[in-house]
Structure formats: structure tokens, C-alpha cells
Amino acid sequence: MESSMFNELLKRHHEKKLAHAFLLETNDQNRCYQDVLEFIKKLNCPFEYKENCDNECNICTLIDNDNLPSLITISPEGQFIKKDQVLSMMDKFSTKPVFTKYNIYVIREAERFNSSSANTLLKFLEEPEDDILGIFITGNKENVISTIRSRCQIFSCDYNVNIAENLDEEVLTDVKLYLQAIYKNKDDIIYNKTHMSGYYKERMEWEIFFNTMLYYLKDCYTSDRLDKIEMVKEVSKSNLIKMVVLTQEILKYIKSNGNIDLILDKFVIEMRKYYE
Ligand SMILES: [Zn+2]
């Protein structure tokens, strides 16, 4: 659990300084959502909350089963969060919470508001009631519509991604094939077009691909891997480090929604400098 940020929120809650709406920017939206649910239990549990509240506590059980009337989670329906979803939540929260201190709505993938659903929600954000809390989760706060973003307190909630533990061997194989294929290849840009463009459908998959590359290049630098490709064996250690730095840069571009084809081209053009 990314505990420090949630501890900070709890502290503000105890000091009665909790804002009415938060935007949590995270590198793992699913984990962040699970932690948000734990946080909501801590806010509401009538007992001294501990992990897996075992006091036969109704509130925590209702949260676990997604049955607590004062907690509504909204995820995009199709491409967008729809106006109707927002209206239905606002309607339910027009009455005071019965079992808990707050009515809480959690918005997953908050970057998927359209202007109509965002405008509908604005009334809630502009005239906040003391007993309503909004928690917005996003992978990139820059993509959240500014009318919402500007009315939220923003926190970042990053998790250490231990790629070694979750290493996907297939992706690692793809990484090695790719690095070797573009190595000293004057048609490297064409290789991008013919082999890589559209290879992964989701931006998240490209993130995993380059995270795996980052892990592999770093590990080649620090250890005697048996599966070193020719390129890695031939370049100098100082250039290997530069490749690691470049891969970190590329990951930033991917996370900030850059065009994948352009990013791949940038990657091969920059890599050429390190083949001495
Ligand atoms: Zn409880």
C-alpha cells in the first residue's frame, strides 16, 4: 500500500481539514483503487480499523461487497463517463448518509469525463456539502478535464513496480528481438513501421514493453546474464548506461501520452548514437 499519502489524508481527516475532492494520480490505477477502498474503510469503520477488519463489522463488509449505499464507484461506460452515471450518483447523494459520516463517490479513470458529464458534476464540486467526498483516480492528471482538475486537491500515488517479480518472458523475448533488430540497422526506422507500429494495442502494453527493456538493460549492466544479446555484449558499459537513461526518457514520453510511432522513431534515432 502506498501508505504515506493515505496516512496524510487520514491525518487531515482527523484534523477536519479534509478537502471535498481529491485527484489521485497513480502509476497503477487498480492498486490505487484497492487502497482507496481501504482508506474509505478507515474513515468509516466504527471499530479500531485493522487490515481485514475482523470485528464482524458491517461497514467494512458492505464496502468489500460493494453494497454500502453511501459509497458509489463510477467507471467509464464505454469510452466515457456518462452524464447519466453522474446524475444517478448525485440523485442518490441528495439524501444524507445514514450509516456513515460521508457519502463518497470514487471516479475511476477520471481522464474519461466528457464535457457533458464534467459539467454535470461541477455543481457538486462548486458547492461542496460537508458530508460528500469525491475521490478521482487517474493515470495522468494532465488528461483530466481542467474544470474538474482545478477543483480537486491533487496527490500522487506511485507504486514501486518490481518488474523482476512480474517479468513476462514473452515480452522480454520481444524486447531482445527488437533491440537486436535495430542494432546497426540502417533500416531501423523502416523496421519500426513494418514490425513495431501497432504491435501493442494499449499504451499500457508499451509501458510494460519499455519497463521490461529498462529492467533488461540495467540487469545486463550489473550482472552476468546468460541471455545477453550481441548488441549488449558489443557496446561499452558507458553506452549501456546511456541506453538505460534513454529508456527512462522514452517511458516518460509514453506516460505523457505521446504518439507511439513517433516515440519509437525517436528511440531508434537516439540509440544509433550509442553503437560506436
Ligand atoms: Zn470495520
The answer to the question of residue 162 being in a domain is: no
Q: How many helices (H) and strands (E) does the chain have?
A: 12, 5
**101: its cell numbers:** 459520516
pLDDT at 5: 83
Task: Quickly count: other Cβ atoms within 10 Å of residue 189's Cβ.
Answer: 14
CATH code of residue 53:
3.40.50.300
Q: How far is the CA of 63 from the centre of ligand 1 (A)?
A: 9
pLDDT at 42: 86
Note the residue count of the chain.
Answer: 276
140 and 181 assigned to the same domain: no
pLDDT at 48: 65
Which residues of the chain are under the pLDDT cut of 70?
Answer: 1-3, 48-52, 54-55
pLDDT at 262: 97
11 and 137 assigned to the same domain: yes
89-108 CB burial, b ≥16 within 10 A, e <16: bbeebeeebeebebbbbbbb
Number of domains in the chain: 2
The answer to the question of residue 164 being in a domain is: no
- Select from 254, 249, 246, 233 the least CA-distant residue to 273: 246
The answer to the question of residue 245 being in a domain is: yes
229 and 140 assigned to the same domain: no
Answer whether 268's CB lies under 8 Å from 189's CB.
Answer: yes
Secondary structure of residue 195 in the 3-state scheme: helix
- Select from 80, 46, 79 the least CA-distant residue to 60: 46
CA Rg value for the chain:
23
Q: How far is the CA of 112 from the centre of ligand 1 (A)?
A: 32
pLDDT at 45: 80
Burial of 86 by CB count in 10 Å (0-12 exposed, 13-18 middle, 19+ buried)? buried
150 and 79 assigned to the same domain: yes
18 and 147 assigned to the same domain: yes
Q: How far is the CA of 18 from the centre of ligand 1 (A)?
A: 21
The answer to the question of residue 16 being in a domain is: yes
184 and 145 assigned to the same domain: no
199 and 226 assigned to the same domain: yes
The answer to the question of residue 182 being in a domain is: yes
Task: Quickly count: other Cβ atoms within 10 Å of residue 167's Cβ.
Answer: 16
How far is 150 from 123, CA to CA, in rounded Å? 14
Q: How far is the CA of 55 from the centre of ligand 1 (A)?
A: 6
Q: How far is the CA of 58 from the centre of ligand 1 (A)?
A: 7
27 and 136 assigned to the same domain: yes
Q: How far is the CA of 135 from the centre of ligand 1 (A)?
A: 20
Q: Position 187: which residue type?
A: D
**5: its cell numbers:** 499519502
45 and 115 assigned to the same domain: yes
216 and 186 assigned to the same domain: yes
129 and 221 assigned to the same domain: no
146: Cβ contacts below 8 Å, ≥ 6 apart: none
151 and 191 assigned to the same domain: no
- Domain of residue 212 covers 169-272
How far is 32 from 137, CA to CA, in rounded Å? 8
